[in-house]
Copies of this chain bind each other. A is one copy, B any other.
Amino acid sequence: MTGSPAVTLYPLGGLGEIGLNCMALVSGDSMIVVDCGLMFPDDSLFGIDVVIPRFDFILQNRDKLKGIVLTHGHEDHIGALPWLMRSCDAPLYASSFTLALAGKKLEEHGLKEFTTCLPVSAGDTVTLGDFKVTFFPVCHSIVHGFALGIETPAGRIVHTGDFKIDRNPLDGHATDLDAIKRFAGDGAMLLLSDSTNAEREGFALTEREIKAALGDIFATCSGRIVVTLFSSHIQRMQEIYDLAHATGRKVAVSGKSLFTNIEIARELKHLRVPPGTEASLEELASLPDEQVVLLVTGSQGEPLSALSRLAYGEHRQVKIQKGDTVILSSRFIPGNIRAITRLINRLYKLGAEVLYERVQAIHASGHAHADELRLMLKTVSPKFFIPIHGEYRHLVKHARIAVSCGVAPERALVIEDGQPVTFAEGLIRLEDAIPVEHIYVDGKGVGDVGVTVLKERQLLAGEGLVIVVLVVDEKSGELTFGPNILSKGFVFEQHYSHVLEDAKCIVLDIYENVPPGQSDLLKERIRSALRRFFRKILERDPVVVPLVITL
């Protein structure tokens, strides 16, 4: 295939996990990057703030980089930008709303002034070296997201971004299948499509249905209404404002990320607050209950969020009372379920009624279900198909859907991060793997907290730590200080002073039986004897740190 027009796709994240979405496309001397997302760490990643992709491939080819295209403004698509843009100065192409969110992020890292942000609108086409990228509006749980039509020397590629197909959309909330169909013509060369909900049959609920369900609640509630939702879900906020307006209520907002996003969305005219629908937190107190809506952060049970402060009675301006209705118009992300249900229980104890997805249809996923994926496949009618944005199981199932829609089985490719694929003259070739990785960010450290440090944190978390200090006189070999024992996260010392006393005796005993000068042997003996002792006496296995100082 050498010499003929070719394009190679380099998946750097998002093919094999939910989040971390990032992909490079290379043709000749041109490279573009689509999305630059992060992933939030699971509980086993102690102390890690966020996970980002390994950018080596992009950086090694940075001279070819013509631009970074962002499909939409969610963290799993823009969140890793600050770590890429430190070492890279390509322009960003995205909707003005996505760029506003990305800009906030770059600003926090002091990178904004060095970044060129080029807003694009629906239908725009930009030329980036060998690539021509057209932006198609898609419906998703954030406004102003795009699917991409990418013309390459080897054929046309459709990249869906994250999408659903709202069959009966509220204003400005549709996926432009017609435009995508026009771009694909009699069939695109390749479709890259969102697999998040490939396991869910049928169609996702639509925002119109959600608005109707919320409308029923607004219509029947006589008390105050508190709503929490994802802070980037501008469309849902619009529904809340509209319903408040229709039922004679005013909306107050509590929580920083909501304030920020509402401000951006209003500025860009994605959110229209009906006149007379706004109130400050202070004004709420003077309004009758039936005129109050409070929009708050904290849908995932975050400890310091407004909802959490309400549930624990720690909100400065508002106290939850009998008659209040709290609506969680959001998904329970699995790792957060206990935190969220804890809040729900607290709110019930305070006398509130609490409504959530489990008991009422008040949230809709932003990702296409299987029937919507089929529609996209029929629309694009691709020769090749690669499922993206999903764990391995989602990719497998999406590939099956593609085959059921007429893609030849050998052309529905389940590949993972790091597996490049070249397309040329209607053929494909799997290239040698490139290094990809989940890079852990802890504070300012990027990638330095690896397996060793995490393992130590895990051990410390499990059973705590015991420090043993001895000072030995170098000449005489006499003990001049200690053994002293102190612990952190091990036992409540007052309860277990006898155990710690016994531990000292064990250390003394070892000290007397190790020849002077062999402090490594002494440390090793202390460590293993104490671990044995604690396991036997307490069935616990703390990290034991012996400090032997020879003076």
Contacts and interface: CB of A to CB of B under 8 A. Distances in A.
Interface of A: 16, 42-43, 46-47, 199, 334-335, 337-338, 341, 344-345, 348-349, 354, 358-359, 391-393, 396, 442-445, 448-450, 452-454, 456-465, 467, 469, 471, 480-481, 486, 488-492, 495-496, 537-540, 543, 545, 547, 549, 551
Contacts of A490: 453
B551 A488 contact: no
B47 A488 contact: no
B445 A491 contact: yes
Given A47-B461, A348-B396, A457-B489, 16 more contacts: A43-B43, A47-B462, A47-B463, A47-B540, A334-B338, A335-B337, A348-B392, A442-B538, A444-B537, A445-B540, A448-B492, A449-B491, A453-B490, A456-B464, A481-B549, A547-B547
From A345, A396, A456, A460, name the one whose CB has the most chain B CB atoms within 10 angstroms: A460
Contacts of A463: 47, 442
Contacts of A481: 471, 549, 551
A465 B488 contact: yes
Across the A-B interface, give the 6 residue pairs with the lowest CB-CB distance, nearest first. Answer: A443-B539, A461-B461, A456-B489, A460-B460, A457-B489, A345-B392
A331 B79 CA distance: 33
B489 A453 contact: yes
Contacts of A391: 341, 345
Contacts of A393: 341, 344-345, 348, 354
Given A490-B453, A537-B444, A199 B359 contact: yes
Given A345-B393, A464-B456, A492 B450 contact: yes
A452 B547 contact: no
Given A335-B338, A392-B348, A471-B549, A46 B457 contact: no
A469 B345 contact: no
Contacts of A199: 358-359
A353 to B, nearest CB: 9
A456 B488 contact: yes
A490 B456 CA distance: 8
Contacts of A540: 47, 442-445
B488 A460 contact: yes
Nearest to A354: B393
Contact of A448 (B16, B460, B495, B539): B495
Contacts of A349: 392
A371 B343 CA distance: 27
Contacts of A460: 457, 460-461, 464-465, 488-489
A448 B496 contact: yes
Contacts of A538: 442-445
Contacts of A462: 46-47, 457
11 contacts: A46-B461, A46-B489, A334-B334, A334-B337, A348-B396, A444-B538, A448-B492, A453-B464, A460-B464, A467-B547, A488-B545
A204 to B, nearest CB: 15
A332 B392 CA distance: 18
Contacts of A467: 467, 545, 547
Contacts of A338: 42-43, 334-335
A547 B487 CA distance: 12
Nearest to A18: B341
A205 B449 CA distance: 46
A146 to B, nearest CB: 29
A295 B547 CA distance: 49
A493 to B, nearest CB: 9
A491 B551 contact: no
A37 to B, nearest CB: 18
B457 A464 contact: yes
A471 B548 CA distance: 12
Contact of A452 (B344, B454, B492): B492
A394 to B, nearest CB: 9
A44 B236 CA distance: 32
Contact of A539 (B335, B444, B456): B444
A453 B334 contact: no
B458 A461 contact: yes
A500 to B, nearest CB: 13
Contacts of A458: 461
A358 B394 CA distance: 12
